[in-house]
Amino acid sequence: MTTRQLFLQNVAQTSDFPLALEIQKAEGIYLYSETKKYIDLISGIAVSNVGHRHPKVVEAIKNQVDSYMHLMVYGEYVQTPQVNLAEAICKTLLGTGLNNVYFTNSGTEAVEGAMKLAKRFTRRTNIVACTKAYHGSTQGALSLGDEHFKRNFRPLLSSIDKIERNNFADLEKITNRTAAVFFEPIGGESGVQEANYEYLQALRKRCDEVGALLVFDEIQSGFGRTGKFWAFEYFDVKPDILLCAKGMGGGMPIGAFIASHEIMGVLKDNPILGHITTFGGHPVSCAASLATLNAIFEENMLYNPKNCKFGCIQSSCRSIECNLIEQKSQLFKKLLVHEKIKEVRGKGLMLAVEFESFEVLKPIIDQAIEKGVITDWFLYCDNSMRIAPPLIITEEQIRFACEVILSCL
């Protein structure tokens, strides 16, 4: 039997129409089959932010494997990769009060941990989440999602209320029963829907008024995807708990939920070991993540201060002359103009290209893949094309990818 036949027979499938591309190698923004080279315009769904097999990430993985891999369940041994990564992440969050990191294996697990943490800290049971938001597929995380994906898996968690993004009236649903509000500053699977600046200010204020924790899900938008290291930096609002995964591992599985010492400390007693994981914070994944974080800053993937007329400090500048990711974003928006394209929206390299319908979009995606450009759509917005390439994509590569997409229209 061929590898493709074995894939369909022995590997559990999640749809009746998998892409089924047989990739033999990946490097930079490219995936390679035996006969074809593809531009990965979605980064394995916002994962390969620094590109596939970034040399520093590969080196860090090899070095760590030579030292040790799994030693003990999470939190018992002092493991240098975990310690160094936690310190580096906290340095990106100075001034926020977010200074304690709990490592997980994935974004979904980060959501699960944050849900438990919020309920334990507030001693409340109600959780609020947005409509058309995807936070994961395990039963707790799925409970936060929309009915389409969860109706056939009930019973799930009760006491979940839904609000609509940017709907000020819905903030009244956040009450003194609410443990936490889970919110994406820039919605991923809703088709890259950005929060209104004033709305996020009001959301923060409402949470403070009723004593609810504000949880920002940056599983897709974190680690530079939007042009800031964290998307919430655009909105001048600090969360109580921050979630990340996907792009933080440089291709390795890892996630985290981050809070203050005060909040995180409740997991230590009543009961002891209030949240545990065997492989969370795996030393190889942590080494890869630290190399990813360092590469973003050391290689100036987000900013080029030399171009900035304001003499900026990287993380505080909002000038397009300084922000390399926003420059690339604007180039996509400039090039992707066609009568069939209704809108190109998003922040940085987290973009959605909207068409009339899924029936219009799907053949375009299929043709683009045939021509060597991989893209797809969104779970809750199937009339929009996802564009989330590695941050290292060049102007020349952007122009080529856009030419291919336009040729498919």
CB 282 within 8 A of CB 248: no
Q: How far apart are CA 257 and CA 241, in angstroms?
A: 7
pLDDT value of residue 312: 54
Cis peptide before 305 (omega within 30 of 0): no
Q: How far apart are CA 139 and CA 330, in angstroms?
A: 38
pLDDT value of residue 322: 82
pLDDT value of residue 306: 67
pLDDT value of residue 397: 98
Low-confidence ranges of the chain (pLDDT < 50): 314
pLDDT value of residue 304: 77
Mean pLDDT of the chain: 95
CA atoms within 13 A on the CB side of 339: 0
CB 146 within 8 A of CB 178: no
pTM summary value: 0.95
- Beta bridge partners, 352, equal 345, 386
**Closest to 105 (Cα-Cα) out of 232, 245, 217:** 245
